[in-house]
Amino acid sequence: MNTKEKILIADDSEINRAMLSDILSPDYEVLEASNGEEVVECLKQHSSEINLVILDIVMPKADGFEVLAVMNRNGWINSIPVIIVSSENAPSYIEHAYHLGASEYINRPFYKVAIRHRIENTVKLHAKQKHLENIVSEQIYEKEKSNMVMVDILSHIVEFRNGESGLHVLHIRTITEVLLRQLSSVCGQYDLTPARIALITNASSLHDIGKISISEDILNKPGKLDKEEFEIIKTHSAVGAQMLEGLTYYQDEELVQVAREICRWHHERYDGCGYPDGLKGEEIPVSAQVVAMADVYDALTTRRVYKPAYPHKRAMEMILNGECGAFNPLLLECLKEVGDYLESEVKIRSAGKISNDSIHTLVHDTLHSINVSDRTLDLLEQERTKYQFYASMTKEIQFEYNYGSDTLILSEWGAAHAGVNESIQHPQSDSSLLRIFSGEDFCDLRERLQKATPQNPIVSRRYRLTLHGEPRWYKAVARPLWGLDEEAPPTKIIGKFVDNEEEQKTLDKLIVQAQHDDLTELLSRNRAYEEIALRLSDLGNTKAALMVLDMDTFKNVNDSYGHFYGDKMLKAFAGRLKRSVRNSDIVARIGGDEFLLYVEYKGCIQKLADRIFYMVSGAYEGFEVLASIGIALAPENGVTYEELFICADQALYACKQAGRNQWRVYDDSMKTILSSLSRQPEEEKEEDTV
């Protein structure tokens, strides 16, 4: 068989890997790894096949120096040459790499011809040391690689919805790995082999996948959660476990089993005061115990929307003093031992996270010297739309806006759905964008984000977008990105538009239901109060009347014919009352058989009152209905709702005392009515107030 030599490219940036692959793939079989653990795993499976490792220094999980150390411990460095390709050019880095056995050290940016010759020469020197294995090993590697990619994708989705800094999952992995290594060195009861540590570290990325079921309004709330919201957020642990239990396949995979343990129990506490199951002591799997401690440490030392970051020393004190719940005493000892190393390790690995700006700089410097493949060009766009697949499932239009270049970038799915270009220069004046999103709305969103602060960065607001000729409500959820100086204005905006139409329709329906009486469909008492108070505040020279109406004979109807017939009478009375006035007047049911009417009028109140009185009185299906109406006038009797209602209510009681079935306008003689009513026998008062 005529086979190609295999070269393993290890770099956490897929763009970097793609460009090296473009150079090498015509002559070599290329394997790829995105972090140090994948490199080690790949070497374990293919050590006899790999002819060369091209290794980056700064990578998550295990950096290039740690990979070289592992290769020395396992003897792989003697048979597999390593070329370091890195942007780090400090003499200390170069010297340390050669000390650990690297054959070459190449700085970025590099030239295609030079790097090809150096790789060819290195491979030829070690060609005789290589042996091939069968294709099954390659398939196993690809399966493991796919698992790692999917874990990263899922964890990043949760981080994006949770408004995290983008480093939370990396921090959890780092802290979990460091604690597990220390625990394995001081205790043998948990059987923490290197493979087991790697598995738990990988599974820790999924600890918060259940948060995908929690509302973003709760996840990103800047203040303290209330009791009800906290109970909702607590459900994420059980939901995450249920998601993994619901997998159709891979239930027996160890990664799935460990991830389920971590999802469900990483909020349990050693004394049994955690949730969701109240496990205590060693009932809690060690994987969940370690991730729980890692999660608490990162939550304390990272700035969140609801709190600043605590210093490492203060976070350690809070955990060790029991301020964050009870932990395994053995784990607390491990934390004390690795405290200083843990702080520096988190910072070092976080610094290795490549930003979009560094990716763009790298691409700019290398595109002129490398023939770029379609794959690499695709990756350039994917870096801007890394959550593209998620957006297509949830119908989200994701976007990025750059203040400096005044450029709006839309996700591929979002641009296609909206019918506009993915990249739009000067969006406020772009005709295609203005067909779906008004310039005023875009300006409003941009101004709101400019006023956002690092302590409260999330902006959420509804806008009306017209897509395919149909206007729909969309909720914009966005946040600004600052440079190193957070006091300066933001440099970019990232966010998404989420279709909010159905949710808004449901909300509007609930609002209508809350504002109306469900039997008569008239306004509710509270809604009527709001409307009347608003109109009275701008009454001017207009005259207005507030009327309180009571059905005098309603109690007899209920007693004689039952409540079902009584409900029919109430609806009929409400209908007559509604028809007796204009659509602009306010009609409400304020309780039982009492109704409220607000009208603005010209001329004489007597004619208006007579017309309304005779419209609502009369026979209802053979039963005679009598009504009493108390009337208060604005501005004569008051200019606020409270003043007018009290007067109209007293006028109503004056009607009752005078024999009912009449209307009266309030005057000063009615002030004593309430006090006189209080002296009536209980039986009379009860009959009057039915």
Residue of 271, 593, 610, 649 marked catalytic? 593
Query: Are residues 87 and 108 in contact, defined by beta-carbon separation less than 8 angstroms?
Result: yes
**Quick one: DSSP state of residue 311?**
P
CA distance 229 to 221: 10
Amino acid letter, residue 453: T
What would you report as the CA-atom Rg of the chain, rounded to the nearest whole angstrom?
A: 36
DSSP 102-159: -SEEEESS--HHHHHHHHHHHHHHTGGG-----HHHHHHHHHHHHHHHHHHHHHHHHH
H or E stretch including 496? strand 492-499
Q: What CA–CA distances, in Å, run from 117 to 111, 114, 123? A: 10, 5, 10
| Token duo for residue 97 | 């790499």
| Token duo for residue 263 | 């999802």
**Helix/strand/coil percentages in the chain, nearest 5:** 55, 15, 30
| Token duo for residue 642 | 């409270």
In a 3-state reduction of DSSP, which class is residue 228? helix
Q: Which value, to the nearest 10 degrees, does the dihedral of the CA atoms of residues 182, 187, 193, 197 take?
A: -40
- Between CA 102 and CA 113, with CA 107 as vertex, the angle to 5 degrees is 95
User: Phi, psi at residue 505, to the nearest 5°?
Assistant: -60, -45
Q: How many helices (DSSP H) and strands (DSSP E) are in the chain?
A: 28, 18
Query: Are residues 14 and 42 in contact, defined by beta-carbon separation less than 8 angstroms?
Result: no
CA distance 690 to 203: 67
CA distance 201 to 189: 18
Q: What CA–CA distances, in Å, run from 198 to 265, 451, 626? A: 19, 43, 84
**Burial (0-12, 13-18, 19+ Cβ within 10 Å), 48:** middle
Q: Is residue 550 annotated as a catalytic residue, yes or no? A: no
The residues annotated with a catalytic role in the active site are 593
